[in-house]
Amino acid sequence: MTDESLPSRSDLVASRRKTRQRSTKLFLRDLLIIFVVAVLVSFLIKTFLVRSFYIPSGSMEDTLQINDLIIVNELEPHLMPVQRGDVVVFTDPGGWLPPSPPTTKNPVASGIEWALSIVGLAAPDSDDHLVKRVIGLPGDRVSCCNALGQLSVNGSPLAEPYVKLPPGEQEAASVHFDVTVPRGDLWVMGDNRWDSQDSSRNQNLPGKGFVPEKDVVGRAILISWPISHWSWLSNYPDVFRGAEDDKR
């Protein structure tokens, strides 16, 4: 074998450089594929399973604080029925929210917000939705207030541990009412009862304070941010057990 049949040092260096370049291209290609798949999966999960919303007001205090980020299960009510006590996110039934002022955003900031919303780290449309607790289901009679200031469902008074009232206030709602929830609707109220634009305060509107079930985006199941507020959201089944028994 002659020396001419062996690769030169320069050939070996060039070959190694090509191998490294090819490996780098393959790595970047695989990284791009992983990123695209991750974004696609996140988008599908957000669209059909869960999504995030932030809390813009204090109407659900002390359960939810302003700027808390919540995870919403979109399978309810589409595949699973809404239950009394569920904290739900819904679109404005009409007139519950004030008109949104026109805003202009930096294109870069808008792009970043959109990208974060895809993976559930931002919720740009939160101001167009409301978050309340379901008190009455279709067919329920909901009234307030009894001699003890309690809210009643189907004649059963509720002892509501999640309700926030002003100091010295005993009544569980700022407006008295006695209604029967129509078919396909819900009666919802904020936990911060005297500072919540909920069903009780919107009875003067065409919808009479009821929220169509079709307007419900999903059930809030978890506070995801900030970490110090992390917790699962209960629907307090014991609070409403008497209401179900009395309806039977």
Question: What are the counts of helices (DSSP H) followed by strands (DSSP E) for the chain?
Answer: 3, 12
Whether 247 is catalytic is no
**Lookup result for tokens 């506070």:** 223
C-alpha 40/C-alpha 38 separation (Å) is: 5
Give the largest Cα separation in the chain, rounded.
109
Give Cα 203 distance to the centre of its chain.
24
The reply to whether 132 belongs to the active site is yes
Of the candidates 37, 33, 67, 39, the residue with the CA atom closest to the CA atom of residue 53: 67
Which residue out of 52, 117, 126, 132 is catalytically annotated? 132
| Amino acid identity, position 178 | D
**Which one is catalytic: 59, 126, 200, 224?**
59
Query: Alpha-carbon distance 54 to 73, whole Å?
Result: 14
Q: What distances in angstroms separate CA 246 from CA 97, 141, 157, one per listed residue?
A: 34, 11, 11
Active site positions, annotated: 59, 132
